[in-house]
Structure 1
């Protein structure tokens, strides 16, 4: 998940470590808190694999202290762009899980339409399975639960229902966009 997020952000523009940390926090904050301690080992691994480069840039700010360390600017390589495309095209089970889905969704603009549709459909199936399990559990144990525990379960079920509706809307939009592209392609001479 962190690998996709780092490569996806660097695909947009080169970033130095602090900017990358800030962008990752804002990007992944809605989906998952990540440890800053995991960022730099990930960057090192990506650099060693040849997917990113690291360049030290001297701080040229007018107010910068003379002893200040140089910034490390990270940039995606051609091999890194290919690797990111491969990662985004992979529609394995991890693409449907909470962490994997959040990172994938953040970079849907860089993902092919048919891949987006497969990921959305897989995520919806996963969430529907969760919803069905929650309904079954609530149906079996609902009367034995105290009022507060029951309303907590019902709240969770409502949240999952909302996600299924949201995913269904995204799928319908994706399918509609695909039909429009197909219609335009057929009309072109």
Structure 2
């Protein structure tokens, strides 16, 4: 739960870094960011917002929409919130490579410099490669002990992680050789959609947020 709360906090800080938002808009944007299968309820969002209010990372104000008499609470970052977001985005340690945290970090990569992006991408690739090696060793040991459906599920997990490793490698190459990446896009062979890697965080070693 603590890790999930940290992930939500980073996502909220990043979204409010773009500008003030009310709770409904925040939840909608967060659900789009988190991807399928990870719907965020108000029961998870509002406790996180209250905690951030107590920490003075965000502040709230009340506005009355022109088409409704009902007032809405709008949230925005404080100076401390801006500093906290920048500090979290500059972290290149193992936490930045974990499944859910990496997804959120990647969504805000446009606000970090190349050195930080490279270190996070390389750390994520190294972590997945370790996971892949471990799963493949387990597969070799249990190949004869499981039925065909279990083997197929294991194979799918391995292929998913391999796909994300390839995707990360293409991103790392593009960061190091931006001119080459532009040429590939112009030739009709663009870098994969960032959302396509999310499945790879799942079947082999899924961690629910």
Instruction: Tell me, yes or no, if the aligned pair for 1:28 and 1:102 is still in contact at 8 Å.
Output: yes
Gapped runs of 5+ residues in structure 2?
1-6, 181-209
Q: Which residue of the other structure, out of 43, 46, 49, is the alignment partner of 1:40? A: 46
SS of match in other structure, 1:145: coil
1:8 Cα shift?
0.3
Instruction: Tell me, yes or no, if the aligned pair for 1:113 and 1:178 is still in contact at 8 Å.
Output: no
Which residue does the alignment assign to 2:84?
83
1:7 Cα shift?
0.5
SS of match in other structure, 1:56: strand
1:47 Cα shift?
1.8
Take 2:61 and 2:39, find their aligned partners in 1: how far apart are those partners?
A: 27
CA RMSD of aligned residues (A): 1.9
Gapped runs of 5+ residues in structure 1?
180-189
1:97 and 2:103 matched: no
Which residue does the alignment assign to 2:59?
53
Take 2:93 and 2:113, find their aligned partners in 1: how far apart are those partners?
A: 15
Provide TM-score, normalisation by structure 1.
0.86
Instruction: Tell me, yes or no, if the aligned pair for 2:27 and 2:40 is still in contact at 8 Å.
Output: no
1:137 Cα shift?
0.8
Give the length in aligned residue pairs. 175
